[in-house]
């Protein structure tokens, strides 16, 4: 059995466990957890990961740290793997590390972090690793292209030495796409991270096609526009056609719009609530919208 | 430039409103009963603005400097920095203000309380900072345990300091700079959090600037 086959089998077993854990969110027919391969290696990643911007920055508050660990527990129980953070996110890295240790989940997580400094990138990455309490990061990204000319050669060296597994770059809010595309063309990136949702669709024009062409995995940030999309959507009833893609909430509809794009590997919504993370991870199950239904989602969101 | 214009204020907010106010709650629980001492010090400032000998300017400056230093260390550096990496720079600013209050007020004895309209307005701002600002938490639906108190929390400490400076004979421009900058910082933070009292500290700053401009022609200014 190949490595990828074994992973697929394990993913199916995890999905079976998740079906028992979340009977309301997983389609009745017990569909398996849907994942996508990282183009560089074929390693499978579930369609939904977990962001930590703002939500996990809770400082030293013990109650809030435990609440974040509860969110992580539900995320892993649902079959989730990728958690994303950054040194920019205050105490988020430390809170993730606390949760991973508390849940004994260091072996379950796909650890994605960022380097965010003009100099001293290696030292910052080591500090981040200690906060996460992981042996190494799976993915290290250059945050918002900050000093990418200095950091990328270092990250590729770290990858060659086995200190990290994948290299990526990030942007958000549709910023600096010209420069971003240039880096995608010139460097053998494994991942990019961009903003994409049913409203912010600029990446469909150039970035996502280029990622497919270059075999680069795509992580999507701000899937709910910082929560505002879901808040607006919830004022309206869930359309009947949501059932055609096995969605029980607007959050799942919005996430499935994103991950149904063939270039997208996963989306990373952030939340402080266990019920919301269960809802989000539920988008990893069941059918995805086709082109016609994607257009209906865009039209529906346009009426919010 | 175009990239910077694409940011909104909320893009710079690193934490949720719940986390921000919870920080005050945990801080208040940790430092209680220092609130009582802070209240006494605040009351002493109000008394000294109106009664006392030539030493009262020194005493007021000393009390304020101690409060700024405490807020710099105990709140900004020890606590706020856990959720906002900019807080360590704010702490440096607060410590610098404490040093300037010591030099200008305690060592050089340049703070001399005055009478008149602007001074009464300054005293009013001090009383507001001592008595009204702590009520904002319960007034706006937050828990009593999340109150912000003069001498312990930055906003009422800054507001009271602005009031004191306006109650002096001369306008001390250099001592007003950091308090006014903090009014902008805290106003922007609360605005990004969509807090109902976001405009309060900016309003105090506008009032302070207006009163200072009104005072300078008659009373003069000092750097």
- The pLDDT tens digits of the residues spanning A48-74 come to 999 999 999 999 999 999 999 999 999
Local structure of residue A162 (DSSP, 8 states) = T
Are B15 and A226 within 8 A, CB to CB? no
Q: Is the pLDDT of residue A35 over 80?
A: yes
* SS3 (DSSP) at A63: helix
Q: Among B157, B17, B22, which residue's Cα sits nearest to residue A60?
A: B22
Residue numbers of the domain that contains B153 = 32-216
What are chain A's domains? Answer: 41-224+266-286 (3.20.20.100)
Contact B97, B179 (CB under 8 A): yes
A59 to B16: CB separation less than 8 angstroms, yes or no: no
Q: How confident is the model at residue B112 (pLDDT cuts 50, 70, 90)?
A: confident
Indicate the helix (H) or strand (E) that contains B178: helix B173-192
pLDDT digit string (tens) for B189-206?
999 999 999 999 999 999
Among A287, A269, A228, residue whose Cα is nearest residue A48: A269
Nearest to B14 among A90, A173, A176 (CB): A90
**What's the average model confidence in pLDDT over A76-93?**
97
Q: Measured between alpha carbons, how far is residue B179 from residues A255, B90, B94, B114, B155 in Å?
A: 45, 11, 9, 20, 9
For residue B4, tell me if it sits in a domain.
no
Determine, yes or no, domain membership for B42.
yes
Residues of A with CB under 8 A from a CB of B: 54-55, 57-61, 64, 88-91, 173-176, 226, 272
pLDDT attached to residue A129: 98
Q: Do A54 and B11 touch (CB under 8 A)?
A: no
Q: How far apart are the C-alpha atoms of A242 and B62, rounded to whole Å?
A: 66
Q: Quick check: A64 and A71 in contact, CB under 8 A?
A: no
d(CA A162, CA A175): 31
Per the prediction, chain A carries an average pLDDT of 91
The whole-number average pLDDT for the span A110-122 is: 96
Inter-chain residue contact A61 with B19, CB threshold 8 Å:
yes
pLDDT of residue B218: 66
Which residue among A64, A88, A174 places its CB closest to the CB of B19? A64
In this prediction, residue A21 has a pLDDT band, given cuts at 50, 70 and 90, of very low
Report the pLDDT averaged over residues A268-277. Answer: 96
In a domain, B114, yes or no: yes
Q: Is the per-residue pLDDT at A114 higher than 70?
A: yes
For chain B, what is the domain count? 1
pLDDT attached to residue B23? 97
> What pLDDT is stored for residue B192 in this prediction?
95
| CA–CA dist B67, B65 (Å, integer) | 5
- What's the pLDDT score for residue A259? 97
The pLDDT of residue A25 is above 80? no
% pLDDT > 70, chain B: 94
Distance from CA of A274 to the nearest CA of B (A): 16
DSSP letter, residue A34: P
Which tops the pLDDT comparison, A10 or A33? A33
Chain A interface includes B192 (CB < 8 A): no
Do A168 and A140 meet the contact criterion of CB atoms below 8 Å apart? yes
Tell me the two tokens of residue A140.
């290290």
Whether the per-residue pLDDT at A186 is higher than 60: the answer is yes
Over residues B5-31, the mean pLDDT reads 90
* A13 confidence band (pLDDT: 50, 70, 90): very low
Q: Which residues of A touch B75 (CB under 8 A)?
A: none
Rounded to a whole number of angstroms, the CA Rg of chain A reads 18
Chain B residue with Cα closest to A65: B19
What pLDDT was estimated at residue B95? 98
Q: Could you say which of A55, A90, A226 has the minimum Cβ distance to residue B85?
A: A90
B160 touches chain A (CB under 8 A): no
pLDDT value at position A7? 43
**What's this model's pTM, rounded to 2 decimal places?**
0.88
- Over 80: is that where the pLDDT of A277 sits? yes
Cα–chain center distance at B21: 17
Residue count of chain A: 304
Residue B223 belongs to a domain: no
B172 three-state secondary structure: strand
| Region B115-142 average pLDDT | 91
Interface touch A59/B85, C-beta < 8 Å: no
Average pLDDT score over residue span A142-170: 97
pLDDT at A28 over 50: no
Comparing A27 with B139, which gets the higher pLDDT?
B139
Closest chain A residue by Cα to residue B26: A61
Tell which B residues from 83 to 112 touch A, by Cβ distance under 8 Å. Answer: 83-85
Q: Is the pLDDT of residue B71 over 50?
A: yes
In a domain, B186, yes or no: yes
Residue A24, pLDDT > 70, answer no
On whether residue B81 sits in a domain, the answer given is yes
d(CA A119, CA A9): 43
Residue B19 lies in a domain: no
Provide the shortest C-alpha distance from residue A94 to chain B (in Å): 10
Helix H or strand E encompassing A137: strand A137-142
C-beta atoms of B19 and A226 within 8 A? no
Best residue in A52, A59, A124, A127 to probe B by mutation, most B CBs within 10 Å? A59
pLDDT of residue A11: 42
Q: Output the average pLDDT for chain B.
A: 92
Note whether A282 and A255 are within 8 A (CB).
Answer: no
Q: Is the per-residue pLDDT at A184 higher than 70?
A: yes
**Residue that wins the pLDDT comparison between A24 and B100:** B100
Q: Report d(CA A105, CA A267) in Å as an integer.
A: 21
């Amino acid at each position: 059995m190949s490595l990828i086959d074994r992973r697929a089998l394990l993913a199916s077993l995890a999905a079976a466990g998740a079906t028992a854990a979340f009977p309301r969110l997983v389609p009745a027919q017990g569909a398996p957890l849907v994942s996508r391969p990282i183009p560089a290696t074929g390693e499978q990643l579930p369609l939904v990961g977990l962001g930590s911007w703002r939500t996990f920055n809770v400082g030293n508050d013990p109650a809030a740290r435990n609440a974040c660990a509860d969110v992580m527990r539900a995320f892993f129980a649902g079959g989730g793997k990728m958690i994303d953070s950054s040194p920019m996110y205050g105490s988020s890295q430390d809170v993730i590390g606390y949760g991973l240790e508390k849940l004994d989940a260091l072996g379950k997580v796909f650890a994605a972090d960022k380097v965010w400094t003009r100099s001293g990138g290696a030292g910052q990455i080591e500090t981040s690793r200690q906060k996460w309490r992981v042996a190494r990061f799976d993915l290290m990204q250059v945050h918002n292209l900050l000093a990418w000319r200095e950091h990328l050669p270092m990250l590729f060296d770290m990858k060659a030495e086995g200190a990290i597994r994948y290299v990526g770059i990030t942007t958000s809010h549709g910023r600096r796409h010209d420069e971003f595309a240039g880096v995608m063309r010139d460097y053998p990136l494994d991942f990019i991270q961009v903003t994409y949702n049913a409203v912010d669709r600029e990446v469909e024009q150039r970035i996502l096609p280029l990622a497919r062409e270059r075999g680069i995995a795509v992580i999507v940030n701000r899937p709910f526009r910082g929560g505002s999309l879901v808040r607006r959507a919830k004022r309206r009833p869930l359309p009947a056609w949501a059932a055609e893609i096995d969605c029980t909430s607007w959050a799942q509809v919005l996430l499935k719009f994103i991950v149904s794009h063939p270039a997208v590997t996963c989306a990373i919504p952030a939340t402080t609530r266990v019920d919301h993370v269960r809802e989000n991870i539920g988008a990893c199950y069941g059918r995805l919208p086709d082109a016609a239904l994607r257009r209906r989602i865009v039209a529906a969101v346009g009426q919010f | 430039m175009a990239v910077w214009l694409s940011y909104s204020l909320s893009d710079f907010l690193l934490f949720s409103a719940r986390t921000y106010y919870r920080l005050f709650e945990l801080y208040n629980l940790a430092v209680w009963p220092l609130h009582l001492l802070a209240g006494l010090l605040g009351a002493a400032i109000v008394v000294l603005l109106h009664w006392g000998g030539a030493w009262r300017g020194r005493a007021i400056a000393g009390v304020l400097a101690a409060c700024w230093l405490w807020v710099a260390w105990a709140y900004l550096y020890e606590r706020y920095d856990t959720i906002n990496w900019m807080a360590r720079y704010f702490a440096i600013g607060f410590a610098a203000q404490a040093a300037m209050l010591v030099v200008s007020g305690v060592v050089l004895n340049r703070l001399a309380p005055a009478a008149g309209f602007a001074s009464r307005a300054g005293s009013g701002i001090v009383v507001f900072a001592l008595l009204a600002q702590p009520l904002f938490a319960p007034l706006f639906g937050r828990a009593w345990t999340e109150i912000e108190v003069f001498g312990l929390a930055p906003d009422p400490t800054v507001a009271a300091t602005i009031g004191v400076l306006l109650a002096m004979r001369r306008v001390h421009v250099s001592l007003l700079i950091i308090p006014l900058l903090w009014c902008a910082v805290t106003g922007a933070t609360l605005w990004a959090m969509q807090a109902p009292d976001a405009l309060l500290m900016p309003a105090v700053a506008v009032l302070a600037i207006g009163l200072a401009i009104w005072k300078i022609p008659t009373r003069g200014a000092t750097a």
